[in-house]
């Protein structure tokens, strides 16, 4: 009796996943979902609107149908799904496509250098002797792509924090590494009594203030410029380190939590949110891939588990700690002072 061989489907699905990813990334780049948000279109009209050559237009659109990102009716009219219409139409405040722009413009190429970075321990991103933020912020086009991607990548987590954390018990908030200010804006929208500060490098000021004006909360959020390696953090009841710690080595992670502890008023709290690795390091594919992404981007950054982070918090002086899951694959760790 011949022994049946293991199936190969999963191996090929993983090994060719870049194809499916690039179809989505190109669709976002070309504005497919924004065009269809106005109404259904057939293949010829849609191809004309987004300037796609007729040779492969149907294959491209039908690949999006096959992956569940578009639908096509019996008349050949393409439509957005509920998911793609809600999250991938540029005109909607729920747009998350800026994250995919970042994946497309920068990370897709960087991941082609994974083997080299694994062998050398060095990032693939060209930083010209600076940290990766300095190299990004000195290029206007990359700066805009990056900061909007930070907002897109933080939006669901920020909304979760705005509704899951007991803000009724606190008056002030400082978001460290705020970028455009996604977290302060979401908290301000949900809790009018909270006054929020966004802390980041001075060149983020105009992007922060523009975003606050767009969201009609400029009267309740403000920007503080500084470098958290050199300057003290602004005092607040709650300090948030969102998608920040993973960028740095262990020494810097602990330093930031120490600084947060000193700047939080007695009775206050620190919130760390990130895409965590599970404590057993067996199941969190997204957390582990995110950590490898830090290898490609940074000189010393790495992902971490909830247990890792609560240990660092307790070493900094925080007492009670708790972990809560957030939308979008992130989790928050709360430490009380």
* DSSP output for 160-226: HHHHHS-GGG--EEEEET-TTTHHHHHHHHH-TT-EEEEEE-GGGHHHHHHHHHHTT-TTTEEEEE-
Encode 155-164: b = buried (16+ Cβ within 10 Å), e = exposed: bbbbbbbbee
* Residue of 5, 132, 246, 325 with catalytic role: 246
- Beta bridge partners, 274, equal 331
The answer to whether 246 is a known catalytic residue is: yes
Centroid of chain to Cα 232: 25
Distance CA 177, CA 324 (A): 21
DSSP 277: B
Here the tokens at position 247 are 């960028």
Around Cβ 257, how many Cβ atoms within 10 Å? 24
Report the relative pairing of strands 78-80 and 221-225 from DSSP bridges.
unpaired
Centroid of chain to Cα 162: 16
Residues catalogued as catalytic: 246
């Amino acid at each position: 009796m011949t022994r049946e061989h293991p199936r190969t489907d999963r191996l090929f699905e993983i090994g060719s996943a870049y194809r499916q990813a690039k179809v989505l990334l190109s669709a976002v780049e070309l504005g497919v979902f924004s065009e269809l948000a106005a109404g259904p279109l057939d293949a010829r009209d849609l191809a004309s609107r987004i300037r796609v050559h007729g040779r492969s237009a149907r294959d491209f659109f039908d690949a999006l149908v096959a992956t569940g990102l578009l639908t096509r009716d019996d008349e050949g009219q393409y439509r957005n799904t509920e998911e793609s219409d809600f999250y991938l139409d540029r005109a909607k405040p729920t747009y998350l496509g800026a994250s995919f722009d970042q994946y497309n413009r920068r990370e897709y190429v960087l991941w082609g250098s994974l083997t080299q970075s694994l062998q050398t321990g060095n990032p693939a991103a060209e930083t010209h002797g600076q940290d990766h933020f300095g190299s990004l912020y000195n290029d206007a086009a990359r700066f805009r792509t990056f900061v909007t991607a930070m907002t897109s990548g933080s939006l669901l987590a920020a909304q979760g924090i705005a509704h899951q954390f007991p803000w009724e018990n606190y008056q002030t908030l400082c978001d460290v590494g705020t970028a455009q200010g996604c977290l302060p804006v979401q908290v301000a929208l949900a809790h009018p009594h909270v006054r929020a500060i966004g802390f980041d490098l001075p060149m983020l000021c105009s992007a922060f203030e523009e975003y606050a004006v767009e969201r009609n909360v400029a009267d309740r959020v403000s920007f503080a410029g500084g470098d958290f390696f050199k300057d003290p953090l602004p005092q607040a009841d709650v300090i948030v380190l969102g998608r920040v710690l993973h960028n740095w080595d262990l020494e810097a992670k602990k330093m930031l939590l120490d600084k947060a502890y000193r700047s939080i008023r007695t009775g206050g709290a620190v919130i760390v949110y990130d895409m965590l690795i599970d404590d057993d390091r067996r199941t969190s594919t997204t957390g582990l891939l995110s950590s490898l992404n830090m290898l490609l981007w940074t000189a010393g950054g790495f992902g971490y588990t909830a247990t890792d982070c609560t240990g660092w918090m307790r070493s900094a002086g925080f007492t009670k700690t708790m972990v809560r899951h957030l939308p979008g694959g992130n989790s928050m760790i709360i430490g009380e002072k």
